[in-house]
Structure 1
Amino acid sequence: MVAEGAGREAHPVVFVLDKRGRPLQPTTPARARKLLKQGRAIVARHTPFVIRLRDRVVEGSAVDGVALRIDPGSKGTGIAVTCDITTVDAATGKVVTDRRGLYAVELTHRGALIHKKMGQRSAYRRGRRTRNLRYRAPRFRNRTKRKGWLAPSLRHRVDTTLSWASRLQRFAPVAELHVELASFDTHQLSAGGLLEGAEYQQGALAGYESRQYLLEKWGRVCVYCGATGVPLQVEHIRSRCRGGSDRISNLTLACGPCNQAKSSRPIEEFLAGRPARLAKILSQAQRPLQHAAAMNSTRWALRGALALLGPPLRAWSGGRTKYNRARSDLAKTHTMDALAVGDLPDGARITRFPATVLVAAAAGRGAHARTSADKYGFPRLYLPRQKQFFGYQTGDLVRAVLPTGKYAGTHIGRVAVRATGRFNIRTAQGLVQGIHCRYVQLLQRSDGYGYSIRKEEGGCGTGMPE
């Protein structure tokens, strides 16, 4: 869904295609309005807003190209379209490269919902087999999983991220791709190997990876006393003088007093009077971070899929992303992390980020089932076989202009169709019910996503927009 009044004015830039549908350099909303008013362009897509020129082709236009930066996540993925501007610092005379964010997309995955639905389907089938019903022999024991198989909830993250990268490549002249492979490389943390193409183990970036991983894993509290809001120190569960290693499974977080009180004593001796806390620490130490494990399962599949898009692809680690974000004093969001993905040389700055972010929530394309099941897994209701009514189908992006009544005004959002012709529209302000189809205007066909626009959380210093 798109917020009311959110047209091309709500987007920081407008994507431009030439008369043959090939991407040109993005332009400003003001220039796009001028081109549309003069009749030199037409609207090619509503969200993201794309115009197509009637009198220009790529061969006669200067196209600098943009970079696409992706910060994958377990629940959401940040995507930023950026360009680098080289200037000369008036004070020092040095050449400085400024990174500017042109467009930002926050992609919300539905992996948790897919996992839940797969579990329900499995329970329905298992239940039907165990009841006193006609027996059907299992048919899945001879099936093997193909190489590179991912669970549907994980495959969904790869497919949706690839879909949006491909989509933005059609709208903008993407010259290079940058992707953060994982927030935490558990192989690097445990085995001490080198990450491909990253030198963050040296200098100012040293320690960012392991410390951030420990903060996420242990909940930013002291594991011994539960203190919060205090400086935490990296602590060896089994001290090094007693044979403990620097592996991530042997590290935890503790406040200063607890760290000193434990010193080099065995943890069993230090927590002898608190067996429950001891068991919890030892159990959690061997358990990897859930979201990091999910990302590590999909990162190579995502990298391989993105490499097929064509532009040069470079992979980075979350340690460098956090370092770049901290240097630029940016807020912690998916889109800000995407803006900070990649190499940011010393002296370079992130001088601009989009003031608004397009939130694309994966909503699916409907169901194949023609019935809905009861709690026992048996069909309960029969659904209509057709999806379109009066030229609309559920999920279409529409605009409804109501002259009078309870919902008088303009409403933009995703529509839920009914055979009666009375539709429901879900907008950013809530659900508008019972809108007759004669007041509805189609903006964009359903593409499996619900859209909304939010303001980007600001930063300080160089992170503020110009």
Structure 2
Amino acid sequence: MVYVLNQHGQPLMPTENHAKVRILLKSKKARVVKRCPFTIQLLYKSTEYTQNISLGVDAGSRHVGLSATTKDKVLFESDVELRNGIVGLLSARRQNRRARRSRKTRYREPRFDNRRRKDGWLAPSVQNKVDTHLTAIRRVHEILPVSRIIVEVASFDIQKIKNSDISGTEYQQGEQMGFWNVREYVLFRDGHECQCCHGKSKDRILNVHHIESRKTGGDAPNNLITLCETCHTGYHRGTVKLPKSIHRGMRFRDAVFMGIMRWAFYGRLKEIYPDVHLTYGYITKNTRIRHGLPKDHCIDARCISGHPDAVSYGTVYYQKKARCHNRMIHKNGILKGGIRKRNQAPYEVMGFRLFDKVKWKGRECFIFGRRSTGRMDLRLLDGAKVNASVGYKNLHLLEMRKNMLVEERRKAVPPTGKPVGFPARHL
């Protein structure tokens, strides 16, 4: 599938007439705008023929499914992987900032007046995912004349998940009702007894222990357990092991994210595009089952678009949001002599940057690691290893790194029908 732009950069209907595309490029009547997905721009006046295209968006907290379809054909399908490490990075930054202030400005007075949040503020981790949703949709609009957007949003009743019998006013009475803080609730929940030795140590001092680190698991009650002073100290020294029965409870991070972002994302989308509609997960599931389709992000997006029987030509674009910058100057670990090792690598190594798309032995891959000697670590976009040490002279640069990395993947075309190409009327 080749995506086509007119003389003014506006998208037209794509074509599968590759011979015609080669002739246009060879005769200088068109130029290549984008390599993946392959897009050309016509350099002469053409007809503005388009069809109605529906874009289905399967919104999520880790992956986003996109599918642009007409009544009988899939024009574009993509699986977008979102960033999920922002919470950890912010925690590390907070840790470094507090350590630096304790060393440099120990007696500085606290300041809180400069922490006011604007209306509509979202947490950085949520805001980044909302922005990535919008960026992925905008890039589809850049290559296809999308006329309609349908978004699937999900609402999760977290209290119902925890307690299936909850009803009425019980929704207003949380599990911590009647307790001063989380610590008092956890001690009461565990019966004021150490959950490791169950009182065998005879230690009356009780501590509330994080099963996962606070940086990873937070201060939620399902991540806290009661331990006596003896067991708590021994665990952190490595002399005491917790029973296997002690583990963190259910996570609701993804459900909370979907509850926060669904209306913020939908509102932003309505401001940008005129024709935006909502649908819900149970409708998508029913459509997928009735048409006998497998469970997949792109398949769900195809059902959301309203054309579940549209024929796919077998190509899915896997996209991954990459980190733009790394401003951490030094590593946290301190070497002998009080030396702090630098965390930032050079901007370029032998002319290559991190996440550059290269070609090695006829295979397209990405640079995931660089060494000062010029040896590169090559991997696919999902992290699958290609070669851990390849000389830079053996690499051919295809695309410089971008904030959104794209990789083309081929899937088997279902035997329901043979893809039918569009007539190249605008060519």
Q: TM-score, normalised by structure 2?
A: 0.68
Deviates more, 1:166-175 or 1:442-451: 442-451
Give the equivalent residue in structure 2 for 1:363: 322
CA deviation after TM superposition for structure 1 residue 23, in Å: 1.0
Question: Judging changes above 3 Å, is the alpha-carbon distance between structure 1 residues 135 and 353 closer, same or farther for their aligned structure 2 residues?
Answer: farther
Taking the TM superposition and a 5 Å limit, the aligned residue runs for 1:217-236 are 217=161
Give 5+ residue unaligned stretches, structure 2. 174-221, 223-249, 421-427
Equivalent residues of 1:68, 1:174 under 8 A apart: yes
Given the superposition, is the C-alpha separation of residues 385 and 452 from structure 1 closer, same or farther in structure 2, using an over 3 Å criterion? closer
Describe the SS at the equivalent of 1:360: strand
Pairwise CA distance, 1:73: 0.5
Which of 300, 303, 309 is the aligned partner of 1:350?
A: 309
Equivalent residue, structure 1, for 2:180: none
Which residue does 1:274 correspond to in 2?
A: none
Deviation of the 1:297 alpha carbon: 0.3
Q: How does 1:39-54 map to 2 (within 5 A)?
A: 39=27, 40-54=29-43
Cα separation, 2, equivalents of 1:249 and 1:78:
35
Does structure 2 retain, via aligned residues, the 8 Å contact 1:350–1:463?
A: no
Asked whether 1:437 is paired with 2:392, we answer yes
Check 1:178–1:248 CA distance in 2 against 1; reply closer, same or farther (3 A cut): farther
Asked if the contact 1:370–1:385 (Cα under 8 Å) also holds between the matched residues in 2, the reply is no
Measured in 2, the distance between the counterparts of 1:18 and 1:362 equals 28
1:163 aligns with 2:135: yes
Residue number in structure 2 paired with 1:139: 111
Q: Which residue of 2 aligns with 1:382?
A: 342
Looking at structure 2, the residues matched to 438 and 129 of structure 1 have their Cα atoms a distance apart, in angstroms, of 46
How large is the RMSD of aligned CA atoms in angstroms? 3.8
Summarize deviations over 1:404-429 as a string: whole Å, max 9, x none: xxxxx223222245554443332365
Which residue is equivalent to 1:18? 6
Deviation at 1:434, TM superposition (A): 4.1
Conserved in 2, the CA contact under 8 Å of 1:373 and 1:379?
A: no
| Whole-angstrom CA distance in 2 between matches of 1:353 and 1:248 | 45
CA deviation after TM superposition for structure 1 residue 27, in Å: 1.6
In the TM superposition, what is the alpha-carbon distance from 1:147 to its structure 2 partner? 0.9
Match of 1:292 in 2: 255
CA-to-aligned-CA distance 1:168-217 (integer Å, 9 cap, x gap) = 1111111111111x22365xx99xxxxxxxxxxxxxxxxxxxxxxx7xx4
Aligned pair 1:449/2:404, yes or no? yes
Q: How many residues of Structure 1 are paired with residues of Structure 2 in the alignment?
A: 341
Letter in 1 for 2:280: S
Q: Which residue of 2 aligns with 1:96?
A: none
Residue 424 in structure 1 maps to residue 412 in structure 2:
no
- Once residues 87 and 322 of structure 2 are traced to their aligned partners in structure 1, the CA distance between those partners, rounded to angstroms, is 14
Aligned-pair distance for 1:32? 6.5
Instruction: State the shift of 1:141 in Å.
Output: 5.3
1:43-442 to structure 2, matched below 5 A, reads: 43-57=32-46, 60-85=47-72, 100-111=73-84, 113-128=85-100, 134-140=106-112, 142-180=114-152, 182-184=153-155, 186=157, 217=161, 237=165, 289-341=252-304, 344=306, 350-374=309-333, 380-382=340-342, 387-400=347-360, 409-415=361-367, 416-427=369-380, 430-442=385-397
Provide closer, same or farther for how the CA distance between residues 38 and 288 of structure 1 changes in structure 2, counting only shifts above 3 A.
same
Partners in 2 of 1:246 and 1:134 — Cα distance? 48
For residues 169 and 299 of structure 2, the distance between their equivalents in structure 1, rounded to whole angstroms, comes to: 31
Shift of residue 56, structure 1, vs aligned partner: 4.2
- Where in structure 1 are there 5+ consecutive unaligned residues? 1-12, 86-99, 191-213, 224-235, 239-243, 251-279, 281-286, 401-408
Work out the CA distance in 2 between the residues paired with 1:107 and 1:151: 21
Q: Which amino acid in 2 is paired with 1:387?
A: Y
Does the Cα contact within 8 Å between 1:14 and 1:27 map onto a contact in 2? yes
Q: Output the CA distance in 1 between the equivalents of 2:22 and 2:261.
A: 44
Give TM-score, length-normalised by structure 1: 0.63
1:11-51: CA deviations, max 9, x gaps? xx221112332211012274565446644433221222212
Give, as a single letter, the amino acid of the residue that structure 2 aligns with 1:80. S
**Conserved in 1, the CA contact under 8 Å of 2:302 and 2:308?**
no
8 A Cα contact 2:70 2:310, kept in partner: no
C-alpha distance in 2 between matches for 1:248 and 1:361 = 38
